[in-house]
Structure 1
Amino acid sequence: MSDNELKSILELDCEERYDFFLSAVGEEKEVWILINSDKQFLKIYAEDDGFEYLPVWPNSEFATEYAKNAKELTPKSISLPEFFEKWVPGLMKDSIEIGVIPGLDSDIWVTPPTELQKDLQEELSNF
């Protein structure tokens, strides 16, 4: 993916980025997160709203772009079966939402893990 393509997707509004994410993950069958050297995943606390979320991306380029100023973070791929079987229940248990493709603006599509799973499964039925 070129830098221009990446930038144009990041400039979309959060709903358009969410739709792009569903389509891209439906094709690639993996979700990307960021982890630190201790293998702990990045989660962000939304102070204004008082909740935590796991930022996710459809490929490593988006995750790398997000973490370009944080040297200790590296992209990690999670297969969709693993995401559905392990991550969704774990995030639900820990009350952590999912933030889909943080963009260049401050808006982000935040959704419960079960809702993202439902949307992804619906997207997968199109393939």
Structure 2
Amino acid sequence: MSNNALQEILELDGEERYDYFLDAVVDERDIWILVNADNQFLKMVAEEDGVAYLPVWPGSEFAEEYAAGTDGLSPKAVSMPDFFRKWVPGLTRDGIEVGVFPGADEELWITAPEELKKDLQEVMSSAF
């Protein structure tokens, strides 16, 4: 993906990035997270309301762009079946939301893991 295309997508608003994320993940079948050298996933806490969330991206290039300038974070793919089977129940149990596709702005779509799973399943069923 060219830098221009990458920037254009990153500059979409939160809702547009959410829609892009759903379509891209259904096409690629992977969700991207950031992990540190110990393979621990990046967890963020929203400043305004203290909600803990897992930031996720539709491709490695977006996660890399987000991690630029940080030490020791690298993109890691989680297959959609693994995300549904392991991550959604684990995040739900731990009270961690999902921050879908952080971009260039401060706007972020934060949703419950089960809600994201449902939205992805809806896009998958309408794609076939």
* Fold shared by both chains (TM-score > 0.5): yes
Shift of 1:119: 0.3
The answer as to 2:19 corresponding to 1:23 is no
Q: How big is each residue's C-alpha offset from its partner over 1:51-82, in whole Å with a ceiling of 9 and x where there is no partner?
A: 10000001100000000111310000000000
Query: CA–CA distance in 1 between the matches of 2:51 and 2:111?
Result: 11
User: Match for residue 12 of structure 1?
Assistant: 12
Alignment RMSD (CA, Å):
0.7
Q: Is the partner of 1:89 in helix, strand or coil?
A: helix
Q: Is the partner of 2:99 in helix, strand or coil?
A: strand
Quick one: which amino acid aligns to residue 61 of structure 1? E
User: Match for residue 56 of structure 1?
Assistant: 56
Q: Is the partner of 1:64 in helix, strand or coil?
A: helix
Q: Is the partner of 1:98 in helix, strand or coil?
A: strand
User: Match for residue 109 of structure 1?
Assistant: 109
Q: Is the partner of 2:31 in helix, strand or coil?
A: strand
Query: CA–CA distance in 2 between the matches of 1:123 and 1:30?
Result: 14
Greater shift in the superposed pair: 44-53 or 27-36: 44-53
User: Match for residue 123 of structure 2?
Assistant: 123
Mapping for residues 12-91 of structure 1, pairs under 5 Å: 12-91=12-91
Output the TM-score relative to the length of structure 2: 0.97
Shift of 1:17: 0.1
Query: CA–CA distance in 1 between the matches of 2:31 and 2:17?
Result: 14
What is the percent sequence identity of the aligned residues? 61
Quick one: which amino acid aligns to residue 9 of structure 1? I
Which 5+ residue runs of structure 1 have no aligned equivalent? none
Q: Is the partner of 1:40 in helix, strand or coil?
A: coil
Shift of 1:50: 1.4
Output the TM-score relative to the length of structure 1: 0.98
Which 5+ residue runs of structure 2 have no aligned equivalent? none
Would you say how many aligned residue pairs link Structure 1 and Structure 2? 127
Shift of 1:113: 0.3
Query: CA–CA distance in 2 between the matches of 1:58 and 1:50?
Result: 25
